[in-house]
Amino acid sequence: MKWFRSLSFSKQIVGYYLILFIITVSVCMSLYFYIMESAVSGMENATLELTLRDVKTNSDSLITRANEYSKIITFSEDVQNVLRNAGSYNQDSYYIDTSLVRLVTGSTYVASVYVFDNYGNTYHAANEYLRTPASKDVKQASWYQEALAARGGYVLKRNAGNFLQGQEMESNYISLIRVINDLNTMQPIGVIVLNISDTEINKIYHFAQTEYGLRIMLLDEEQIPIINTINFDQEQSAIIDTTDADQEPISVADAVDHAQNNDYKSSSIKIENSNWEIIGFLPRDMVGAQVKSFTVITIMILALNGMLLCVGAVIITRFISEPVHRLLASMKKVEQKEFAAIQEIPANLEINQLQSGYNRMITELNDLFDEVVAGQRMKRKYELEVLHAQIKPHFLYNTFDSIGALALMGRLDDVFTMIQALGSYYRLSLHKGQEVITIGEELKIVYNYLIIQKYRYEDVFEASYDIDENVKQYKTLKLVLQPFVENAIYHGLKTKEKGGNLIVRAKDQGAYVILEVEDDGSGMTPRRLNEVVQGAETEDGKSFGVFGTIERIHLYYEREDLVEIKSRAGIGTTISVRIPKDFRYQ
Amino acid sequence: MLKRKLISILLFSCLLIVILTRCGNETDERTQEKTIESLEKPEINIFTLYSMTNPDSGSANFLKALEMAKEEFPDYIINHETADVETYKTKIKMMIAANETPDIFFSWGGGFVQPFVEAGYVLALDDYLDAKTRGKLKPEALGGYMFGDQLYGLPSYLWVGVLYCNQEMFAQYNLKYPVTFDELLEVCKTFRKNDVTPIAMGMKDKWAGALITNAYIAQLSDAKLSAQMLTGETSMDNPAVVSAASRTLELVAAQAFTEETFSLTKDEAEEGFKQGQVPMVFMGSWLSGVLDLTAVAGKVHVVKFPPVDDVVDENQFFGGDNGALCVSASCAYPDETVAVCAYLAEQCAILDGGLVTWEIPEESMENVNPLNREVMEIIADATSYVAAWDSTLQATATQEWLDLVAELYRQNISAEDFAKRLEAAVNK
């Protein structure tokens, strides 16, 4: 995920949107498919069940009609009388035959009727060719006990339970069988077998399967198909093999299982008063095809929506990222020391604030930068001036003049002392160009300077020192004391007729070392003092003097409270410099 | 943090999708396996001859009781179908013979219900009736439905053949109400002397006349003999029948009945009694209710049908139940069906409040017709009833029986011939 966090803002946003899009689309799609699936499934079930119900209703009503016919025959006075007396005489059989024929030919539902009495006689009427009973004795029929157990109610049998021998290769037919009870005694006196016309059955079963390729089967109690409208092609022909009764019975469950494997939906319903079952098979893709185009459209709409969302996300992101990008570009320039304000383009509250804030910052930075540059420039200037002041050609010429005069006078010891002081002075004050020296060294500079100046201005001043020995070890900016000493001699004492005293002090005062030059010379008026402090041109116009030194000290120590000047005209001047002990020199 | 959240969201949505699709599959399979099933309440089908168009008060009571039963047994759908009396007789036989016996059906007792019981189509009720309900049934009225000590039907109503007498006319001629056959004969003769038709009789409905002959046969034969005659075990050609026929002939000879009786229906002939012009009528006790709405209301006295001297049992009455409700042996819910059946039968009795086969609460008897109150006193000591033949004989035999009785009234046949021809016709 590290790589992701280093991606650009807009790419991240697009990434988030993409993830969001994928999640929502997948949730929507699964929801859609789930709803669609159940809707289709519901439709299939409804189709299947409605059709099955339809078929069942029609089958039931066909059987009900057959049942009514069989009852009309069973309970007709003729049949009852003939069967009651069948054991005693036979001459009525002709009569019963004609009455049967009348009933049978009057109906399109009945294919044939066979009535058996308990004495081996058969009476029949048929709209089709006559079948021969397998036995004269109806009690031999496989279903006789079952019919007896139905106590006068009907039982349904496929092909009359094979009791009536028909032609080979004929199609299946349905037989309704019942024991005939004597109406007076309620005792069985015969059996009726009523065969239902197969055209009527086919009408029901073939009519139902016009929609969606629906297929319908009728299975008898042994799960053997009686009516099979399934023209499964080669692949599916294995499921249920047509009408051959000798075949292994197919269980309904097997058929249903197999059908489902083959993308068929199935449902079953029982025929009333029997164990016969109607099974419907519905090819699933037939119904599904109807909704397929709808699904494609939905997916396309979803995809389009997703695309629009992504494009929208990119555009919206751009609104936010563009100003940020500009800020970023500007910051890049800062890296390259280019402090330029950016053009403010209103975007939104936060971005606007960011832009103006950035611009303010850049302005501040520029100002600060200028200040720093100016300070540095001053520092360099003052340093040059110090250097210049150190070399001081006048001082040097004057000193050499003094030395020459002494030499002429033969005061060789004094010459030596002077030259030594001069050398020491220059060595210390130049000091390999270092800015920082110890206070001891600074005092030595002043000491040597005063030795030299004493030869020149013998009567002008008397120098004295008040030094705390321990302060010599502390460091200080170079030449912080000498200019004030020089100032005291040239501007305080030299102008006084009788000369005066000069006291140099170095005192330990807690966190500071106090360096002080005191003279009792002519002093300064407040105006003059102000001029000196403000750096007005000195009288000779070239003296770097007091102002430059104070400026140097302030610049270097970066504070403005270190130098204090007390001066009164006619009384004298005291200049004291506080050097902080703990200042970190570079 | 964001990464973790994202992953959890992703996982959650995956889970959601899996659950949704899984659910879809499951419901799918379930619907496939589901077969079409009826979720309707269990039904109890009832078939009777009690219809809105049946004028019998028993019908109205039954229909009222049926509505009450529907509320009493809300968990069952109670269906009721009816048929006209003659249709009913044939249809119920066919339904039973086709093993389509209704859960509860109406049947007459004796010979009518017997084949159904013997063929096992009727449920024996004793195992399903609680002792309390069973105890409320009057045992003397159940004879027609007892087979092998088991009860097969629950009757509600009783009727008994009684003689209705016009009090005013009896007072007018200073006559006592007849107590014996001979007194009846004398009363008839006295009225006839005064040009008054003694007994209202419309022989266009042959069964009205047959009632009298039937009543004498009942008096002269005990319950066992009556039953055996109907099943063919004993010949109809026996002294009881001969004697009963000759009593009928005696009354005809005494001109006891309405003139031109063969051109009048029973109702037309009864008009004479209802208008106070004829002093007597012999009829089933159902007539009591009808008389309330006529000119003779409050002026009628009921007496026991005057017995012959050689009556077999004074406490055996001609009459009995008016049919009973039976339960199919193959009904789906025997406990509930019997409960519904018993409820209907008892409620019919309570609603009637008068001549019934159940011991009913006193308060339900409050509205009983005063004539029926008299009838109730007459039968207070009844030990058994002998049913009318026209409801117990087979249809064809019934017709023969009625035709032969008509011959008696025409005096075309002797009592002996009557008995012989009856035997020949009924037990051919």
Domains of chain A, residue spans: 8-305, 392-580
Alpha-carbon span B382 to B98, nearest angstrom: 39
Rounded to the nearest angstrom, the minimum Cα separation between A187 and chain B is: 7
Answer with the residue of higher pLDDT: A167 or B45.
B45
Choose the closest CB to A269 out of B10, B35, B99: B35
Nearest CA in chain A to B3: A1
Q: Work out the minimum CA distance from A117 to partner chain B, whole angstroms.
A: 16
Test mutation, A72, A88, A186, A275, chain B, max B CBs within 10 A: A186
Interface mutation vs chain B, best among A20, A23, A26, most B CBs within 10 Å: A23
| Alpha helices (H) in B46-126, listed in sequence order | 57-72, 85-97, 114-118
Determine, for residues A185 and B94 on separate chains, whether the beta-carbon distance falls below 8 Å.
no
Per-residue model confidence as pLDDT tens digits over A67-120: 988 998 888 888 888 888 777 665 556 667 777 777 777 777 888 889 998 888
> What is the average pLDDT score of chain A?
81
- Averaged pLDDT, A245-266: 56
Whether B330 and chain A come into contact, CB under 8 Å, resolves to yes
Q: Under an 8 A CB cutoff, do A187 and B119 touch?
A: yes
Which chain B residues are within 8 Å of A75, Cβ to Cβ?
93-94, 97-98
Chain B residues touching residue A30 (CB < 8 angstroms): 16-17, 20-21
Residue in B with minimal Cα distance to A68: B98
Residue A341 pLDDT > 50? yes
| Residues B157 and B321 sit within 8 Å (Cβ to Cβ) | yes
Going by pLDDT thresholds of 50, 70 and 90, the confidence category of residue A237 is very low
Is the domain spanning A392-580 CATH 3.50.50.60? The answer is no
Most confident by average pLDDT, A107-111, B139-143, B346-350: B346-350
| Cβ within 8 Å, pair A186-B119 | yes
B38 touches chain A (CB under 8 A): no
What is the dotted CATH code of the domain comprising B43-157+322-360?
3.40.190.10
CA nearest neighbour of A224 among A248, A206, A200: A248
Instruction: Give the CA distances from residue A77 to residues A73, A84, A177, A182, in Å, rounded to whole numbers and listed in that order.
Output: 9, 10, 19, 10
Count of CB atoms situated within 10 Å of the CB of B346: 21
More confident position, B427 or B278: B278
Which chain A residues are Cβ-neighbours of B20 within 8 angstroms?
30-31, 34
Residue A519 burial (10 A CB sphere; 0-12, 13-18, 19+): buried
Nearest Cβ partner for A37 among B6, B24, B93: B24
- Closest C-alpha to B168, from B267, B295, B45: B295
> Which pLDDT belongs to residue B23?
46
* C-alpha distances in Å from residue A107, one per residue of A66, A75, A509: 10, 17, 143
Looking at CA atoms only, how far is residue A181 from chain B in angstroms? 5
Please give the structure tokens belonging to residue A99: 């009455």
- CATH classification number, A8-305, choose in 3.40.50.970, 3.20.130.10, 3.30.450.20, 2.30.33.40: 3.30.450.20
In the Cβ-directed half-sphere of B81, how many Cα atoms lie within 13 Å?
A: 14
Residues 103-162 of B with CB under 8 A from A: 115-116, 118-121
Closest-CA distance, A44 to chain B, in angstroms, reads 10
- A52 and B36: CB-CB below 8 Å? yes
- Beta-strand runs (E) in A330-486: 436-438, 461-467, 475-477
Three-state SS for A519? strand
Cα distance from B112 to chain A (closest Cα, Å)? 9
Report the residue from A19, A27, A184 with minimal CB separation from B115: A184
H/E segment holding residue A32: helix A9-74
Q: With an 8 Å Cβ cutoff, is B20 touching chain A?
A: yes
Taking the domain B159-319+372-426, which CATH number applies? Answer: 3.40.190.10
Per-residue model confidence (pLDDT) at position A387: 65
| Interface contact A265, partner B, CB < 8 A | yes
Q: How far is B6 from chain A (nearest CA, A)?
A: 9
What chain B residue is nearest to A188 in terms of C-alpha separation? B97
CA–CA distance, B265 with B242 (Å, rounded to integer): 27
Question: Looking at beta carbons, which residues of chain B come within 8 Å of A55?
Answer: none
Number of Cβ within a 10 Å radius of residue B9? 13
- What digits encode the pLDDT tens for the residues B370-384? 898 899 999 988 888
- H or E segment at A25? helix A9-74
Higher pLDDT, B139 or B15: B139
Chain A residue with Cα closest to B6: A19
B91 Cβ under 8 Å from any chain A Cβ:
no
Q: Which two tokens stand for residue A205?
A: 């079963």
- Distance from C-alpha of B69 to C-alpha of A575, rounded to nearest angstrom: 133
Query: Can you give the residue ranges of every domain in chain B?
Result: 43-157+322-360, 159-319+372-426
Residues A493-527: tens digit of each pLDDT: 888 878 889 999 999 998 999 999 999 888 888 88
- pLDDT tens by residue, B13-63: 555 555 545 444 444 444 433 333 445 688 999 999 998 887 777 888 999
DSSP labels, A240-288:
S--S-TTSPPPPHHHHHHHHHHTTEEEEEEEPTTSS-EEEEEEEHHHHH
Calculate the average pLDDT of chain B.
Answer: 86
Is the CB of B10 less than 8 angstroms away from the CB of A19?
yes
pLDDT (average), residues B342-371: 89
Q: Are residues B96 and A33, on separate chains, in Cβ contact within 8 Å?
A: no
SS3 A510: coil
Distance from CA of A53 to the nearest CA of B (A): 8
Tokens (6 digits) for A328: 């970023």
Q: Please tell me if residue A353 touches chain B, with a CB cutoff of 8 Å.
A: no
Of the pLDDT bands very low, low, confident and very high (cuts 50, 70, 90), residue A212 is low
Eight-state DSSP code of residue B356? B
Q: To the nearest whole percent, how much of chain A has pLDDT over 70?
A: 87
pLDDT for the residue numbered A503: 93
Q: Find the closest chain A residue to B116 by CA distance.
A: A186
All residues of chain A having their beta carbon less than 8 Å from the beta carbon of residue B120 are 151
Q: Does the distance separating the beta carbons of B31 and A186 come in below 8 Å?
A: no
As a whole number of angstroms, the distance between CA A194 and CA A147 comes to 13
Mean pLDDT score, A170-189: 87
CA distance B146 to B321: 13
What ipTM does the predicted assembly reach?
A: 0.72
Can you tell me the mean pLDDT for B180-196? 93
Range of weakest confidence among A284-288, A557-561, B173-177 = A284-288
- Give the nearest partner residue to B36 out of A184, A185, A267, using CB atoms: A267
Cβ-in-10-Å burial (0-12, 13-18, 19+) of A466 comes to exposed
> How far from A91 is each of A81, A94, A96, A103, A189, CA to CA, in Å?
12, 7, 10, 20, 17
Among A334-338, A408-412, B204-208, B254-258, name the one with the lowest average pLDDT. Answer: A334-338
pLDDT category of residue B122 using cuts at 50, 70 and 90 = very high
**Other beta carbons less than 10 A from residue B306's beta carbon:** 20
E strand or H helix that includes residue A453: helix A439-456
Check if B411 contacts A (Cβ < 8 Å). no
Whether residue B1 lies within 8 A of chain A, CB to CB, comes out as no
pLDDT at residue number A332? 83
**Distances in whole angstroms, Cα of residue A353 to Cα of each of A8, A333, A345:** 22, 20, 11
- Any A CB within 8 A of B26 CB: no
Tell me what pLDDT residue B137 has: 93
What pLDDT score does B8 carry?
57
Q: How are beta strands A500-509 and A512-519 bridged, if at all?
A: antiparallel
The SS3 of residue A354 is: helix
- Check CB contact under 8 Å for A267 and B35: yes
Among the residue ranges A408-422, A565-579, B171-185, B389-403, the one predicted with the least confidence is: B389-403
Distance from CA of B97 to the nearest CA of A (A): 5
Are B10 and A23 within 8 A, CB to CB?
A: yes
Which token pair is B349? 């009795």
Q: Tell whether B35 lies on the interface with A, counting CB pairs under 8 A.
A: yes
User: How many CA atoms within 13 Å lie on the side-chain side of A565?
Assistant: 26
* Partner B contacted by A499 (CB < 8 A): no
Please indicate whether the domains covering B43-157+322-360 and B159-319+372-426 agree at the CATH topology level: yes
Tell me how far apart the alpha carbons of residues B385 and B138 are, in angstroms, rounded to a whole number.
Answer: 12
Q: How far is A437 from chain B (nearest CA, A)?
A: 58
| Chain B neighbors of A152, CB-CB under 8 A | 96-99
Residues A38, B24: C-beta atoms closer than 8 Å: yes
B99/A contact by beta carbon, under 8 A:
yes
pLDDT in the model for residue A238: 40
- Asked if the C-beta of B6 comes within 8 angstroms of chain A's C-beta atoms, the answer is yes
Amino acid at B176: K
B120·A151 Cβ contact <8 A: yes
Q: Are A320 and A350 in contact (CB under 8 A)?
A: no
Q: What are φ and ψ of residue B357, in 5° steps? A: -95, 5
Q: What is the pLDDT of residues B54-96, one digit of tens each?
A: 777 788 899 999 999 999 999 999 999 999 887 898 899 999 9
Tokens representing A226 are: 């009686």
Residue pairs between chains A and B whose CB atoms are closer than 8 Å: 96
Predicted confidence band of residue B425 (pLDDT cuts 50, 70, 90): confident
Residue A26 and residue B96: Cβ atoms within 8 Å?
no
Cβ–Cβ of B99/A150 closer than 8 Å?
yes
In this structure, what is the dihedral angle of CA atoms A540, A546, A550, A552, given to the nearest 10 degrees? 50
Task: Pick from B32, B95, B113, B428 the residue to mutate for testing the A interface (most A CBs within 10 Å).
Answer: B32
